[in-house]
A and B are shown apart, each in its own frame.
Chain A
Amino acid sequence: MEYVLEAKNLCKYFKFGLRSIAVEALKNVSFSVPKGCIFGLLGANGAGKSTAIKILLGLLKQNSGSVEIFSSKLSSAVKRRMGYLPETPNFYGFLTGLELVSFYARLCGLSGKEAHMRASDALALVGLSDAANRRVSLYSKGMQQRAGLAQAIVHDPELLVLDEPASGLDPVGMADMADIILELKRRGKTILLSSHMLAEVEKLCDEVCILSRGQVAAMGSLDALLNKPDSAVLGISGVSAQNVEKIERYAESLGAKIDEARTGRESLSEFFKSVSKR
Chain B
Amino acid sequence: MDRLTRRQVLKVLGGATVAAATGGFTGQLLGWATAQEPSRPLLPRPGRRVVIVGAGISGAMCARTLRKLAPDVEVVVLERNPTYVSGPSHVDYVVGLEDARKVTVTFDALVRDGVRVIRSPATGLRLQDNRVLTPQGFVEYSVLVLATGLVPAEHEVRNLLENRRLSPHAWTWAGTVELRRAVEAFSGGTFVLTVPPPPYKCPPGPYEVACLVQEYWRAKGVRAEVVVLDSNDRPQPPLLADLWRRVLQERGITYKPSFKVVELDPTSRVLISDRGERQRFDLASVIPPQRAPLFIEEAGLGGPFVPIDPATWRSRAQENLYALGDVAASPYTKSAFTAFLQGRNAAYFIARALGRDRGEPDPVFNQCWPFVSSKEALFVEVAWDKEGRPIPARNRTGAPSAQHVKDRKQWEYGLLRAVYG
**Are both chains from one complex?**
no
B contacts, CB < 8 Å to A: none
